[in-house]
Amino acid sequence: MNTILQATDIHKSFGRGEARNHVLRGLNLQVRRGEFLAVMGPSGCGKSTLLHILGLMDQPDRGEVMLDGETFSRAAARPQRLRFLREKIGFVFQRFNLIGVLSGRDNVRMSLHVRGRRDDEHVEALLDQMGVSAVAHRKPGELSIGEQQRIAVARALAHRPGIVLADEPTGNLDTDNGLALLDLLRRINRRDAQTIVMITHSAEASDRADRVLRMRDGIIKAE
Amino acid sequence: MVYLPLANIWHHKLRSLLCALGVGISICMLVALTGLARGSLFENADRWESVGADLIVFPRGWADKIANRGVGLSEKYAKLLREKHGDLVERAAGVFCWPMKVAGQDHVVAGVAPEQWDMISGGKAIKEGRLFDPENRFAKWLDDRLLSPATDDRAVEITEADLRDPEHDGLELVIDTRLAAAAGLGVGDTLHAANHDWTIVGLAPTGVMTRIFMPLRTAQFLFGDGDVTKCTMILVKLRDGVDAGPAARTLRDALKLDVIPPKAYRVTLQEHFSIMLNYVDMVNIIALIIAFLFVMNTLYTMVLERKREIAILRSCGASGWFILRQVLGESMILAAAGVVIGVAMSFGASALIGRLKPLLTPELSFHWMLIAAGAAVLGAILSALYPAWRATRINMAEVLVYE
Ligand SMILES: Nc1ncnc2c1ncn2[C@@H]1O[C@H](COP(=O)(O)OP(=O)(O)O)[C@@H](O)[C@H]1O
Ligand SMILES: [Mg+2]
């Protein structure tokens, strides 16, 4: 099996002493190259925390993440992580995290700029696919939640990352728009063989996935 | 092109403007203040250097004073210089200096013989009107009465009316165009100063030795303690090809007087006012430090506010260098805007000073503008470094999830 992403014995807790919150408790996970994986679980169970660790934005207290042949533990060097963030990972945050002073369009362009690239045509095509080209000149503060979410997805896809990590990408869309976005992700996943790990609450979303994993008590429940 | 620093500056218009203004004001202070101090001081030296003389002869011990005036040495030295040192000296002319208050400010009046005007003025012609007493009639009249042997045993009385006698009017003045403009005086006007009523007969171009000229004998007679044969200094023009340095030494040794080139006056001025210039520089340094702190504080709060934005850049894999460039870029743009504002403001300030105080000379030197711009850019870099470094330390997961 061609594994692009593997998490081994991941532990993560927040706080200290009495307030210590042991969120991930020895979690194991494997994702195949080209797979469209959905992760479900009750709110507060650590799905976002897991996704940040898988996306190299946070470090586990213990355990390691193997991504595209390289291993990242707590001690992994920052330049190595940043290089992966630039080249291999596309991330959709649960709270979008768009840059407020830039227009929607420039947010997408900026993510390419950071990566030393520029491809306005591709950016336009993506915005169009997301159905936001008409409003992309506005700043995030002037966009609806759903529009912001779609800009955030466009930003995560702009540099054609090998693996896309999406934290509830349809959480703020109505059913139709949510389904459209899911279909788009599915298409991209098929066409470009991009691996997608998506956190979701909705059954429709998990229906589109190749595989659904359920989280509980800081680990993945047996399938 | 997406350029985040510009987007941020544009988004926070008021703060950016205030920040650039803070830099601009301190640059204006630096440029205008040094310009004013040095300009007004050295305008004086420039004027002395415009004189068509190679050396100035002072009484012994006077050369390093800055405001020489009154009776100093006998006019006979001028004759002596011409006759005994004719191999070196082409011309020598006595000048009598005295202070005079005009238009609310003290000026040095130079009493000069009319036939020496071309040397005194460095070859500049009278711009309007004529030179005072061009035929030197007053000197002749006075010399007849005071210096001829026949008058030796008589007390001579000279009245105000004698001075003003149209046959040999001694109360004529030439002023420079700048003083004329500042005091609102023109040819034909009467000016009351130093207890006499003077007639302005001509305007000299700005940049000549001093702002007010009168006939040498008049100055000597009125201000010379009753001795009309003494002057304050002697201006010497050397023969072609004579080296000023060795000639000055020769003349100094022969006459036992101070002999210096007009250029030395600048050095004397500089030494004399070095404390004031130091003080101006101190004020400027303080202004710059305040500007730095101001920019630093602005950038620092800006970076703190922008934690999230920087974390987002990080999540796209932005290197420390990339983040540094964003913060640095913003501060450089603000500094550059500050330089533009500051230079514009210093031109404005100098124009204003020129209108309110026409006799002050703010000299906006390109040199100081460059120094100010350099200081601003350097300050912008230095004050951006710490916030930028802090920016690269941001923990992206924490910021992106919880803020
Ligand atoms: N940076 C953090 N600091 C403190 N507690 C955190 C932090 N991130 C997550 N948590 C806590 O960890 C738990 C899991 O959070 P999260 O991963 O966001 O859950 P989910 O995405 O499954 O809803 C929650 O109790 C949350 O309060
Ligand atoms: Mg979550």
For residue range A43-57, what is the model confidence (pLDDT) as tens digits? Answer: 899 999 999 999 999
Contact B144, B137 (CB under 8 A): no
Q: What percent of chain B has pLDDT over 90?
A: 39
Q: What percent of chain B has pLDDT over 70?
A: 97
Cα-based torsion angle of the residue sequence B315, B318, B324, B330 in order, rounded to the nearest 10 degrees = -80
- How large is the angle between the packed helices B263-272 and B274-305, nearest 10 degrees? 60
B401 touches chain A (CB under 8 A): yes
A14 pocket-lining for ligand 1 (C-beta < 6 Å): yes
The DSSP bridge pattern shows strands B89-102 and B105-112 to be: antiparallel
- pLDDT of B403 higher than 60: no
Contact residues, chain A, for B314 at CB < 8 Å: 57, 82, 85
Contact B346, B28 (CB under 8 A): yes
Name the A residues in 31-50 with CB < 8 Å from any B CB: 48
Domain contains A30: no
Residue of chain B with shortest Cα separation from A83? B317
Q: What percent of chain A has pLDDT over 90?
A: 73
| b/e A124-159 (16+ beta carbons within 10 angstroms → b) | eebbebbebbebbebbbeebeebbbbbbbbbbbbbb
Q: What is the pLDDT of residue B81?
A: 92
- Decide: residue B261, CB within 10 A, 0-12 exposed, 13-18 middle, 19+ buried: middle
Contact residues, chain B, for A79 at CB < 8 Å: 319
Residue with tokens 């460095």: B122
Distance CA B147, CA B171 (A): 20
Q: What is the pLDDT of residue A171?
A: 84
The whole-number average pLDDT for the span B52-70 is: 85
B378 touches chain A (CB under 8 A): no
Domain contains A3: no
Q: State pLDDT tens for residues B82-98.
A: 999 999 999 999 999 99
Instruction: Using the mean position of ligand 1's atoms as its centre, give its distance from the Cα of residue B311 in Å.
Output: 18
A217 touches chain B (CB under 8 A): no
Name the A residues in 103-122 with CB < 8 Å from any B CB: 106, 109-111, 113-115
Please count the CA atoms within 13 angstroms of the CA of A221 that sit on its side-chain side: 13
Give the structural domain span for A94. Answer: 35-59+75-222
The whole-number average pLDDT for the span A70-92 is: 91
Give the end-to-end CA distance of chain A in Å, rounded to a whole number. Answer: 18
Tokens of B315: 């999540």
Distance CA B359, CA B206 (A): 11
* Phi, psi (degrees; rounded to nearest 5) at B223: -115, 0
Q: What is the pLDDT of residue A77?
A: 84
B302 touches chain A (CB under 8 A): no
CB count in 10 Å sphere of residue B380: 27
Domain contains A43: yes
A95 touches chain B (CB under 8 A): yes
pLDDT tier, B251 (very low <50, low <70, confident <90, very high otherwise): very high
Contact residues, chain A, for B313 at CB < 8 Å: 110, 114
Contact residues, chain B, for A98 at CB < 8 Å: 312
pLDDT tier, A108 (very low <50, low <70, confident <90, very high otherwise): very high
Residues with Cβ within 8 Å of B258's Cβ and at least 6 positions away in sequence, in order, are: B57, B58, B59, B60, B61, B62, B63, B252
Nearest residue by C-alpha to atom 4 in ligand 1:
A14
Q: What is the mean pLDDT of chain B?
A: 87
- How large is the angle between the packed helices B216-223 and B137-147, nearest 10 degrees? 40
Q: Which of A56, A142, A52 is nearest to A105 (CA)?
A: A142
**DSSP annotation of B29:** H
**Can you give the residue ranges of every domain in chain B?**
3-43+273-402, 52-261
Domain contains A80: yes
Instruction: Using the mean position of ligand 1's atoms as its centre, give its distance from the Cα of residue A178 in Å.
Output: 24
Q: What ipTM does the predicted assembly reach?
A: 0.93
Contact residues, chain B, for A15 at CB < 8 Å: none
Q: What is the pLDDT of residue B68?
A: 80
Q: State pLDDT tens for residues B113-165.
A: 999 999 999 999 999 999 998 888 888 888 888 877 766 556 677 888 888 88
pLDDT tier, B63 (very low <50, low <70, confident <90, very high otherwise): confident
Nearest chain B CA: its distance from A76 CA (Å): 15
Q: What is the pLDDT of residue A195?
A: 96
Q: Which of A10, A19, A22 is nearest to A217 (CA)?
A: A22
Residues with Cβ within 8 Å of B173's Cβ and at least 6 positions away in sequence, in order, are: B132, B191, B198, B199, B200, B201, B212, B213, B214
Instruction: Using the mean position of ligand 2's atoms as its centre, give its distance from the Cα of residue B136 in Å.
Output: 103
Q: What percent of chain A has pLDDT over 70?
A: 99
The whole-number average pLDDT for the span B225-253 is: 91
- A vs B, Cβ pairs < 8 A, gives 71
Q: State pLDDT tens for residues B257-285.
A: 999 998 888 888 888 888 888 888 888 88
Helices (H), B2-70: 4-11, 13-49
**CA angle, corner B318, sides to B317 and B319, nearest 5?**
110
Pocket test for ligand 1, best of A14, A58, A214 (most atoms within 8 A of CB): A14
Q: What is the pLDDT of residue B294?
A: 75
Q: What is the pLDDT of residue A177?
A: 83
Tokens of A127: 């915005």
Give the Å distances, CA to CA, from A192 to A33, A35, A117, A205: 11, 11, 19, 20
Q: What is the pLDDT of residue B153?
A: 58
Contact residues, chain B, for A55 at CB < 8 Å: 315
Q: What is the CATH number of the domain that holds A158?
A: 3.40.50.300
**DSSP annotation of B150:** G
- pLDDT of B401 higher than 60: yes
Residue with tokens 């703190």: B304
Q: What is the pLDDT of residue A37?
A: 96
Q: What is the pLDDT of residue B268?
A: 83
* Phi, psi (degrees; rounded to nearest 5) at B74: -70, 140
Instruction: Using the mean position of ligand 1's atoms as its centre, give its distance from the Cα of residue A43 in Å.
Output: 9
Distance CA A7, CA A27 (A): 7
Instruction: Using the mean position of ligand 2's atoms as its centre, give its distance from the Cα of residue B4 in Å.
Output: 29
Cβ distance of B397 and A83 shorter than 8 Å: no
Nearest ligand, measured from the Cα of A50:
1
Instruction: Using the mean position of ligand 1's atoms as its centre, give its distance from the Cα of residue A93 in Å.
Output: 14
Q: State pLDDT tens for residues B279-294.
A: 888 888 887 787 777 7
**DSSP annotation of B157:** -
Distance CA B256, CA A99 (A): 81
Cβ distance of B308 and A97 shorter than 8 Å: yes
Q: Strand, helix or coil at B318?
A: coil
- pLDDT of A1 higher than 70: no
pLDDT tier, A124 (very low <50, low <70, confident <90, very high otherwise): very high
Rank A88-92, A179-183, B322-326 by mean pLDDT and report only the highest. Answer: A88-92
Number of domains in chain A: 1
* Phi, psi (degrees; rounded to nearest 5) at B149: -55, -30
Of B315, B319, B401, the CB nearest to A48: B401
> What atom of ligand 1 comes closest to residue A58's alpha carbon?
1
> What atom of ligand 1 comes closest to residue A46's alpha carbon?
17
| b/e A67-87 (16+ beta carbons within 10 angstroms → b) | beeeebeeebeeeebbebbbe
Domain contains A23: no
Q: State pLDDT tens for residues B101-117.
A: 988 888 899 999 999 99
- pLDDT of A215 higher than 70: yes
Q: State pLDDT tens for residues B14-47.
A: 989 988 898 888 888 888 888 888 887 788 888 8
Partners of residue B203 on adjacent β-strands? B128, B175
Pocket test for ligand 1, best of A21, A43, A52 (most atoms within 8 A of CB): A21
Q: State pLDDT tens for residues A141-194.
A: 999 988 999 999 999 999 999 999 999 998 888 888 888 889 989 988 998 889
